[in-house]
Amino acid sequence: MPAHLVMACFIILTLGGGLLIGFLFRPGDWYARLAKPWFTPPAGVFAPVWTLLYLMIAIAGWRIFSRDASGVAMIAWSVALALNFVWSPVFFGLHRTGAALAIIVALLAAILVFIASSWPRDAVSALLFAPYAVWVAFAALLNAAIYRSNAGD
C-alpha cells in the first residue's frame, strides 16, 4: 500500500476514532455538576487541543509503523490509543472517576514507553508525542483532583 494511503488510514483511525468517542461520550450535566479544581480549562479548549494531538499521534504512529510495524514503539502506540479511547466511556459514560484515573495513568505510561522506544530510531515521532505526554499528565492531575473532590466513584 502506498505510504500516503497508510498515513491516511492512521489519520482516519486516530482522528476519526477520537472524534467519534468525543461525540458519543460528551461531558454533559453529570460533569457540569462535579466539583472541579481551579485549573480546569474552559470547555472550549478540549476539542481543538485533542484534534491537534490526534493528528500528531496519527503521524507519529504512521512514521513508526513505516519503520517497524511490530516493534515496542508500535505496540506502545497501539496500547496508548486503546487506553485513550477507553478513558472517555469510563469517565463520562460510566462516571467512574477512579477507574478512569487508573486508565489515564496507564495511558501516560504507554506514552512514555513510546517516546523512549521511538527516540533512538525516530526522534521526530518521539517529539510528536511530547505534547501528548504533557497534556495527558495534566489530564491525569485534573482527573485525580476531580476524583478526590467528588468522593471517588
Helices (H), 69-96: 72-88
Cα distance between residue 67 and residue 86, in whole Å:
27
Residue 63: its pLDDT value, please?
A: 97
Cα distance between residue 1 and residue 132, in whole Å:
28
Residue 15 DSSP code: I
Cα distance between residue 81 and residue 113, in whole Å:
13
Question: Who contacts 11 (Cβ-Cβ below 8 Å, separation ≥6)?
Answer: 55, 58, 59, 62
Residue 80: its pLDDT value, please?
A: 98
Question: Who contacts 75 (Cβ-Cβ below 8 Å, separation ≥6)?
Answer: none
pTM of the predicted protein model: 0.95
Residue 104: its pLDDT value, please?
A: 98
User: Which amino acid does the sequence have at 33?
Assistant: R
Residue 1: its pLDDT value, please?
A: 77
Residue 38: its pLDDT value, please?
A: 96
Please name each of the domains of the chain with its CATH number. Answer: 3-149 (1.20.1260.100)
Residue 153: its pLDDT value, please?
A: 62
- pLDDT means per 10 residues, the chain with 153 residues, are 90 96 94 96 94 98 95 98 98 97 98 97 97 98 97 69
Handedness of CA 37, 42, 59, 25 (dihedral sign): positive
